[in-house]
Structure 1
Amino acid sequence: MLRRVIAAAVLGVAATATVLLSAGPVLAHGFSSTVYVDVTAGDAGHVRTSVELEYDLFIVSAADYEKDDPLFRAGTDAFEAEDDAAMGTALNAHRDSAVRYVTERFGVRSAGVDCVASPVGDFTTGVREAVPYATLILDWTCPKASDAHEVRSALFPDSETYIKGAKTIVTYELDGRTGSAALDTGQPSFSTGQSWEQRFGEFFLLGAEHLLTGIDHILFLLALIAGSRRLREIVLAATAFTAAHSVTFMLAALGLVDAPAAVVEPIIALSIAVVAAWHLWRLRQHGVHVADLESGGGHFSLDRAGWIRLGVVFCFGLVHGLGFAGALGIDEAFSWTLLWSLLVFNVGIETVQLSLIALVFPLLIVLRRRSPRAGLWTTGIISAGVSVMGLIWFVQRITQG
């Protein structure tokens, strides 16, 4: 029985795997980037922004946008040499091109009128997320006074084709308010006058979108659903997963933990394969009785197997939290306001998880009750397919790390 299930799953996944493999490297969160902006009140009524951009992407984008080949050559040479001083020199030698790229894609408005940017000092470089970042400080002169300012960002758009889904994380202390916002193609601007409900709503939607658009997280959830025997079991597993990744997510945001993507990404892929293979192993051990609970179930109606599985899911959730943090480029301490926003981000993830469980798991229960054999085949094929994809990604990320 199990061999036929696995064989059918492998055949079913083969075409998908071929497409994914031919498309190039598969990363848990895709090749993207995060821009960091800190907005404060400057001198003489100015608005001051500190803009941090990933150095190598900034060089390529600015040079292409401005048709500045010398900037590209000098910048990439300095980047490949890992020479911080040379990186700063390359940007400052081509200051006009680099500043123009930023100011034409990033801006501040007051009372509906664009503010005018003036660079403050030279470009500086540093390390963030274990990669070089460039920092540009701008003072904005606003022709019209207002009790709220609008900040917009279209830095590193998808149309440049170098990356996809770039985000700008903004923290601000301006107009008597403090807060944070996440800007992207779908939400390119925000106002400092927005309510806390609006700010948190953006991060809630960002968390929901992150789960729905992350195929690795969807497959991990499918593996959990397929291997769960009771609704309570899958809800506890999903909640344990969220609690675990929230812990490491927040620790990363506080700057207390950090792990390179070359380590985190393969473990995430392996976790997908292991959780899916867990059900296949139980299927081989118990056959048609795989959905039965062992005698002497304890708290929360979980037996020994259920508790072990819950512990495994929690441990893997800790690693996934580092993946979430890496997706937003979070590895340094932020304001408490942003930490609360990130907590709402996690609530968005959990809400989508529970919604998907509410949609899928009842169908699986009905199928198991009406046709145990069909339920066996369905969960076996899902688990085998997910396990295969997890192993494919694991090998890819190990060999490309």
Structure 2
Amino acid sequence: MVFFIIASFSFPTLSHELSNGYLTLKNDSGETLSGELLLKPKDIGQAARLDTNNDGNLTWGEVRKNHNLANSYIQNHLIIRGSETRCTVSVAPPSIRDISAESLLVYPLSVNCALLNEVSVRYTGLVSDFPTHKLLTSITLNEQTSVHVLDSELTFISVSPKNIHWGSQFCEMVYQGIWHIFIGLDHILFLVATLLTVNLLRKSKRWVKERSVKRIVKSTVILVSTFTLAHSITLTLAALDFITLNSRIVELGIAISVVITALNNVYPVIMRLGFVTFGFGLLHGMGFASVFGDLNAQSGSLVMNVLAFNLGVEIGQLAIVALLLPLLILLRNLRLYSKAIMPIASSIIAVIAINWTLQRW
């Protein structure tokens, strides 16, 4: 059973079923906006037909060579208006940025409008090819940030500094925290790998069933609380710019943390998991902070946005634990669990994480 759970998590990793992107806009003056549109290469490649030789392998050369196709697609599907008329959007050639285990194409945007007392965005990109596509959108006007999620059902938003309400923004940031847990597959697999042995005991160099449900729940609470405390610390400090660390190093460290945790289930060396979970949790918090930073959630409401985003992350994390823990309690009664299911599940996670490590090296 756990094998299929892990397989279901790993399948989107390999097939990229989840489709998500980011749009950030910030006014530089009364008539101009600057920002970025971040999309998965596969998504924009398929939608804008960048893979011109149709070999199913989108290369960096094709991305650069066919920028006119991407530019045309973005111009047709991202309509930005100011207070009176449609704005002119210029799309520069992209670069690549890694966010939460994925490489995204970053298209710099320059937007010219007649008047920017109000900004509206209509986005219809990718949803015809990827119906579940979501665009996480952050618009900053006069130091006031409004955050929204555009998808197939909500394609249009209108923003002005006067209608930005803290309650709606708080809820939106909570939602984004939850969403980023579920698209952050490296964080999910770390959590799953950490909990796969919570229902077992190590005796005479063998894994055996933990008979006490109370001790299983207690161990789970300790590990999850330790992980939560650690990544909350670094998420908050990094989001508030008290600490910084190269995102490439962070993403590499997160991948390695998943490898070590998964392999430790199969070949136990570290038995005091609380200390290790705390240390790795600090790294994962930096990963969440990089995602938070790409939402461009800054301005006077930064502290509130950090708290709301962190709350969303915890809600998403607890939802995963609530689904997994009862299953683990039941599975511990199967002799096959400690001998085959747990080692196989851990090995699958390790293989996926090793692949991430090589990609991020």
**Normalising by the residue count of structure 2, what TM-score does the alignment of the two structures yield?**
0.66
Is contact 1:151-1:191 (8 Å) kept?
yes
Give the Cα–Cα distance (whole angstroms) in 2 for the partners of residues 331 and 196 of structure 1. Answer: 16
Structure 2 segments unaligned to the other structure (5+ residues): 53-59, 99-103, 199-214
C-alpha RMSD over aligned residues:
5.1
Q: Which residue is equivalent to 1:388?
A: 347
Q: Which residue is equivalent to 2:78?
A: 105
Q: Which residue is equivalent to 2:177?
A: 207
After TM superposition, give the deviation of residue 239 of structure 1 in Å: 2.6
Is contact 1:123-1:136 (8 Å) kept?
yes
**Normalising by the residue count of structure 1, what TM-score does the alignment of the two structures yield?**
0.60
Residue 185 in structure 1 maps to residue 173 in structure 2: no
Query: Would the alpha carbon gap of residues 236 and 39 (structure 1) be closer, same or farther in structure 2, given more than 3 Å must change?
Result: farther
After TM superposition, give the deviation of residue 204 of structure 1 in Å: 1.2
Q: Which residue is equivalent to 1:4?
A: none
Q: Which residue is equivalent to 1:361?
A: 325
Q: Considering only CA atoms, is the larger Rg found in Structure 1 or Structure 2?
A: 1
Q: Which residue is equivalent to 1:236?
A: 222
Query: Would the alpha carbon gap of residues 273 and 396 (structure 1) be closer, same or farther in structure 2, given more than 3 Å must change?
Result: closer
Is contact 1:52-1:136 (8 Å) kept?
yes
1:49 to 11, 33, 39: 33
1:271 to 250, 254, 257: 257
Give the Cα–Cα distance (whole angstroms) in 2 for the partners of residues 385 and 33 of structure 1. Answer: 33
Equivalent residue of 2:343, what SS? helix
Query: Would the alpha carbon gap of residues 108 and 26 (structure 1) be closer, same or farther in structure 2, given more than 3 Å must change?
Result: same
Q: Which residue is equivalent to 1:374?
A: 333
Is contact 1:253-1:330 (8 Å) kept?
no
Structure 1 segments unaligned to the other structure (5+ residues): 1-7, 69-75, 81-86, 286-303
Give the Cα–Cα distance (whole angstroms) in 1 for the partners of residues 164 and 182 of structure 2. Answer: 26
Is contact 2:23-2:135 (8 Å) kept?
yes
Is contact 1:208-1:351 (8 Å) kept?
yes
Superimposed CA distance per residue, residues 52-98 of structure 1 (whole angstroms, 9 cap, x where no aligned partner): 2359969x7699489x9xxxxxxx76987xxxxxx9xx98xx7x994
Equivalent residue of 1:116, what SS? coil
When structure 1 is superposed on structure 2, of 49-58 and 338-347 the one drifting more is 49-58
2:139 to 138, 163, 171: 171
Report the count of equivalent residues.
Answer: 328
Identity of aligned residues (%): 23
Give the Cα–Cα distance (whole angstroms) in 1 for the partners of residues 151 and 289 of structure 2. Answer: 20
**Alignment map for 1:133-172 (pairs within 5 Å):** 133-141=106-114, 149-155=119-125, 157-159=126-128, 165=133, 167-172=135-140
Is contact 2:78-2:121 (8 Å) kept?
no
Q: Which residue is equivalent to 1:5?
A: none
Give the Cα–Cα distance (whole angstroms) in 1 for the partners of residues 296 and 164 of structure 2. Answer: 26
Q: Which residue is equivalent to 2:232?
A: 246
Give the Cα–Cα distance (whole angstroms) in 1 for the partners of residues 303 and 219 of structure 2. Answer: 30
Aligned letter for 2:135? Answer: K
After TM superposition, give the deviation of residue 347 of structure 1 in Å: 0.9
Equivalent residue of 2:333, what SS? helix
Equivalent residue of 1:52, what SS? strand
Q: Which residue is equivalent to 2:205?
A: none
Give the Cα–Cα distance (whole angstroms) in 2 for the partners of residues 333 and 181 of structure 1. Answer: 8
Is contact 1:181-1:190 (8 Å) kept?
no
Q: Which residue is equivalent to 2:212?
A: none
When structure 1 is superposed on structure 2, of 126-135 and 165-174 the one drifting more is 126-135
Residue 312 in structure 1 maps to residue 276 in structure 2: yes
Give the Cα–Cα distance (whole angstroms) in 1 for the partners of residues 307 and 324 of structure 2. Answer: 26
Query: Would the alpha carbon gap of residues 280 and 52 (structure 1) be closer, same or farther in structure 2, given more than 3 Å must change?
Result: closer
Query: Would the alpha carbon gap of residues 63 and 362 (structure 1) be closer, same or farther in structure 2, given more than 3 Å must change?
Result: closer
**Alignment map for 1:83-98 (pairs within 5 Å):** 98=71
Aligned letter for 2:74? Answer: Y
Superimposed CA distance per residue, residues 253-293 of structure 1 (whole angstroms, 9 cap, x where no aligned partner): 455423344x54454344234334445556xx9xxxxxxxx
Give the Cα–Cα distance (whole angstroms) in 2 for the partners of residues 20 and 230 of structure 1. Answer: 26
Is contact 2:80-2:119 (8 Å) kept?
no
Equivalent residue of 1:248, what SS? helix
